[in-house]
């Protein structure tokens, strides 16, 4: 090492890289690489999976190959799409109800010490109760329709959004609040101009997590408590010994989760323009 | 209401911070101070002596532990007092223009008037080209200009400034000092200005107040003997430096006192580490 250093001059040079001289080209290249990775990594895993079937490393009585899933007749049946639509509707209703309540209560508890004192430990205790264990209670409360399913999703989403909203509101720096107070802002103005925008990036982190959780919960609820929807499809595949059906269901729910989380992220980017999303420094 | 002869009157003001009664910090006072309407008063003192604390009490962000501060204001003014904070306090989620408009929006001034005033200050602070930028993309000096514009746009009777230029380089600092002087000489607001720089205090102030190390009391209250309008060249005059030295002698003792305390604390830490 030492010998090498001597051949070099003791000179540390800071020179422009492609990112500096031609940012457009650099960004294009970077995006290309990122897209390649985003598609390539799952792509090769799927290819490996398919190969596993081809060489019979995997038992095709119990498992379905990617090709079987994609070429499944099931995918061309209108029935499947109506199942998906049923599920998506449940998930969206549950997600919106849950996040609305979560943001609302999170905000209220974030600004009010008294409310925090009154509800914090109660909600934290409820938070840890496995929601699927509540199915009998929800059925008794909401009957046998879609309502108990939606309510279960909503409750699960609620807790994630509530916690992140509350801590986000409490975490807004005091200096920002004081600046508003010094201009004579009232409570509502402080909320509108300071607390809410200040908390928004963190609230969106919560919403993104909740979006994934909504899909988890959706499938879980439908597995146990539905005769239609993706979860029921997966369950039907198991009971009728049709792995293809099960795997079609699983693949679609994965895609659903991906799409939904992505949509929430896009929404966050639109609503929080001051916080650049990708803050990793450029490393060459 | 009692008629006030002066704009700000602090009577035996003290502030004690106590998280629990166990460890109390006596941050300020007792402090007595009178500020006349339209006066520009500069506060200097060692770090931690309670300058920011006093400003926050005047701003109504903190209550004194004992004593009182009376402030005479025009009850019709929606924003009688505004403050420029030590660490800017401008909002990362608002654009430059949004930040400048903030105080105006709070006070419920009409949209068209808000726009007019904001445009005026954008131009005055040379920020027009950055009106729709977010603070994250600005330099420190630009952010500070946003903070000053935000405070001045509401036309306060009393302007509280907490080391507003501390983070700036010498040239920009001087530029903004001159800008502040111009604005003040035109509009004659009452200003309480905290600084660590004696030079800055003398260039700007009608009076310079030297505070003791914590708990801060007034050890010297000196009128600045230089005529207004003051020009930037004042800094080069010999009597300017004489006056500055006079103040420094007084401040030095307090700063040394402060440093002694810091060192003794460090000494303790050092000996703890050894033991
Ligand atoms: N919220 C608080 N809780 C407890 N102690 C505080 C609080 N704010 C200030 N203090 C203490 O009060 C003292 C005075 O603080 P202050 O910020 O007023 O000092 P300062 O004169 O503005 O100092 P600097 O020049 O460094 O800004 C300090 O010792 C500080 O630790
Ligand atoms: Mg301070």
Residue range of the domain that includes A184: 74-271
- Boundaries of domain holding B238: 13-72+160-171+185-275
* B134 occurs within a structural domain: no
What's the number of domains chain B is made of? 1
Are residues A36 and A81 both part of a single domain?
Answer: no
User: Which token pair is B145?
Assistant: 């200009």
C-alpha–C-alpha distance, residues A254 and A265, integer Å: 17
CATH code where residue A210 lies: 1.10.3720.10
In a domain, A39, yes or no: yes
B61 and A185 within 8 Å at the Cβ level: the answer is no
Give A197 to chain B, closest Cα distance, Å: 7
Q: What is the mean pLDDT of chain A?
A: 85
**Any chain A CB within 8 A of the CB of B93?**
yes
Q: Are residues A216 and A264 in the same domain?
A: yes
Instruction: Examine residue B258 and state whether it is found in any structural domain, yes or no.
Output: yes
Q: Judge if A117 and A240 occupy the same domain.
A: yes
Please enumerate in sequence order all residues whose Cβ is within 8 A of that of B46, keeping only pairs 6 or more positions apart, or say none: B211, B212, B213, B214, B251, B254, B255, B257, B258
- For residue A69, is it within any domain? no
Does residue A18 share a domain with residue A113?
no
pLDDT at A264 over 70: yes
Inside any domain, residue A265: yes
Tell me the DSSP string of A156-206. HHHHHHHHHHHHHHHHS-HHHHHHHHHTT--HHHHIIIIIHHHHHHHHHHH
pLDDT of B70 > 80? The answer is yes
Q: Are residues A204 and A173 in the same domain?
A: yes
Cα angle, residue A39 at apex, residues A34 and A45 outer, rounded to 5°: 125
A83-128 pLDDT, tens per residue? 889 999 999 999 999 999 999 999 999 999 899 999 988 998 888 8
The confidence band for A3, taking pLDDT boundaries of 50, 70 and 90, is very low
Task: Based on the fold, state whether residues A223 and A159 are members of the same structural domain.
Answer: yes
Tell me whether residue A79 is in a domain: yes
Substitution target in B52, B75, B89, B164 with the highest count of A β-carbons within 10 Å is B89
Same domain? A102 vs A210: yes
Per-residue pLDDT of B21-44, as tens digits, reads 667 788 887 888 888 888 899 998
Q: Do B107 and A178 touch (CB under 8 A)?
A: no
Q: What is the pLDDT of residue A174?
A: 86
Q: Give how far A204 is from chain B: nearest CA, Å.
A: 15
**In this structure, is residue B166 part of a structural domain?**
yes
Q: What is the pLDDT of residues A134-172, one digit of tens each?
A: 888 888 888 878 888 899 999 999 999 999 999 999 999
Into how many domains does chain A fold? 2
The answer to whether residues A34 and A93 belong to one domain is no
Does A233 reside within a domain? yes
A37 and A95 assigned to the same domain = no
- Does A123 share its domain with A263? yes
Give me Rg for the CA atoms of chain B: 20
CB B192 within 8 A of CB B55: yes
| Ligand 1 atom 12, closest CA | B27
pTM above 0.90, yes or no: no
Chain A contacts of B160, Cβ < 8 Å?
Answer: 182
Does B27 contact ligand 1 (Cβ within 6 A)?
yes
Q: Does A91 map to a domain?
A: yes
Select the more confidently predicted residue: B209 or B23.
B209
Residue nearest to atom 5 of ligand 1 (CA): B17
B78: nearest CA partner in chain A: A184
Q: What is the CATH classification number for the domain harbouring B63?
A: 3.40.50.300
Identify which of A183, A274, A276 has the shortest CB distance to residue B154: A183
A169 domain-assigned: yes
| Mean pLDDT across A244-273 | 89
Q: Looking at ligand 1, which atom is closest to the CA of residue B196? A: 25
Residues of A with CB under 8 A from a CB of B: 175-176, 178-185, 189, 193-194, 197-198, 200, 272-276
Percent of chain A with pLDDT strictly greater than 90:
38
pLDDT surpasses 50 at B67: yes
A252 has a pLDDT exceeding 50: yes
Residues A244, A200, single domain; the answer is yes
A124 with A225, same domain: the answer is: yes
Q: Min CA distance, B63 vs chain A (Å)?
A: 13
Please name the residues between 2 and 41 in chain B that touch chain A, using a CB distance below 8 Å: none
Do the domain assignments include residue B129? no
* ipTM for this model: 0.76
Ligand 1 contact, B15 CB (< 6 A): no
């Amino acid at each position: 090492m030492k010998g090498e250093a001597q051949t070099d001059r003791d000179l540390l040079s800071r020179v422009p890289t492609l990112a500096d001289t031609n940012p457009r080209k650099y960004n294009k290249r970077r995006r290309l690489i990122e897209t390649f990775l985003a598609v390539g990594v799952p792509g090769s895993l799927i290819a490996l999976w398919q190969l596993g079937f081809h060489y019979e490393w995997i038992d095709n009585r119990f498992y379905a190959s990617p090709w079987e899933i994609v070429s499944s007749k099931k995918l061309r049946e209108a029935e499947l799409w109506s199942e998906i639509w049923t599920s998506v509707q449940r998930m969206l209703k549950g997600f919106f109800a849950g996040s609305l309540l979560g943001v609302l209560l999170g905000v209220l508890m974030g600004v009010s010490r008294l409310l925090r004192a009154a509800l914090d430990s109660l909600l934290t205790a409820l938070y840890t109760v496995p929601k699927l264990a509540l199915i009998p209670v929800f059925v008794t409360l909401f009957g046998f329709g879609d309502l108990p399913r939606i309510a279960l999703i909503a409750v699960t989403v609620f807790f994630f959004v509530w916690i992140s909203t509350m801590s986000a509101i409490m975490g807004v720096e005091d200096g920002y609040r004081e600046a508003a107070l010094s201009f004579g802002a009232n409570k509502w103005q402080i909320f509108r101009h300071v607390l809410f925008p200040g908390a928004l990036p963190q609230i969106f982190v919560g919403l993104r997590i909740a979006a994934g959780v909504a899909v988890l919960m959706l499938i879980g609820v439908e597995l146990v408590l539905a005769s239609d929807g993706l979860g029921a499809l997966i369950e039907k595949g198991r009971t009728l010994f049709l792995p293809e059906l099960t795997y079609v269901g699983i693949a679609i729910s994965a895609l659903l989760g991906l799409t939904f989380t992505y949509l929430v992220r896009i929404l966050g980017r639109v609503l929080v323009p001051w916080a650049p999303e990708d803050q990793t420094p450029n490393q060459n | 209401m009692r008629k006030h002869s002066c704009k700000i009157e602090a009577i035996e003001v003290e502030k004690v911070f106590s998280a629990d009664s166990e460890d109390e910090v006596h941050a300020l006072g007792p402090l007595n101070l009178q500020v006349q309407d339209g006066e520009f008063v500069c506060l200097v003192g060692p770090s931690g002596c309670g300058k920011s604390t006093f400003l926050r009490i005047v701003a109504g962000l903190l209550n004194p532990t004992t004593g009182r501060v009376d402030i005479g204001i025009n009850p019709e003014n929606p924003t009688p007092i505004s403050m420029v904070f030590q660490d800017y306090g401008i909002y990362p989620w608002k654009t430059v223009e949004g930040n400048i408009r903030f105080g105006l929006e709070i006070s419920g001034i009409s949209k068209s008037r808000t726009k007019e005033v904001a445009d005026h200050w954008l131009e005055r602070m040379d920020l027009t080209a950055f009106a729709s930028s977010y603070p994250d993309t600005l330099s420190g000096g630009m952010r500070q200009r946003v903070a000053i514009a935000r405070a001045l746009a509401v036309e306060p009777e009393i302007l509280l400034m907490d080391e507003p230029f501390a983070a700036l380089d010498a040239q920009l600092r001087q530029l903004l000092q001159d800008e502040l002087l111009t604005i003040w000489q035109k509009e004659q607001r009452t200003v309480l200005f905290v600084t660590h720089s004696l030079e800055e205090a003398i260039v700007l102030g009608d009076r310079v107040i030297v505070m003791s190390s914590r708990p801060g009391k007034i050890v010297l209250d000196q009128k600045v003997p230089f005529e207004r309008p003051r020009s930037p060249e004042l800094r080069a005059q010999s009597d300017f430096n004489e006056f500055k030295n006079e103040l420094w002698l007084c401040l030095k003792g307090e700063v040394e006192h402060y440093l002694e305390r810091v060192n003794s604390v460090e000494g303790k830490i050092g000996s703890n580490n050894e033991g």
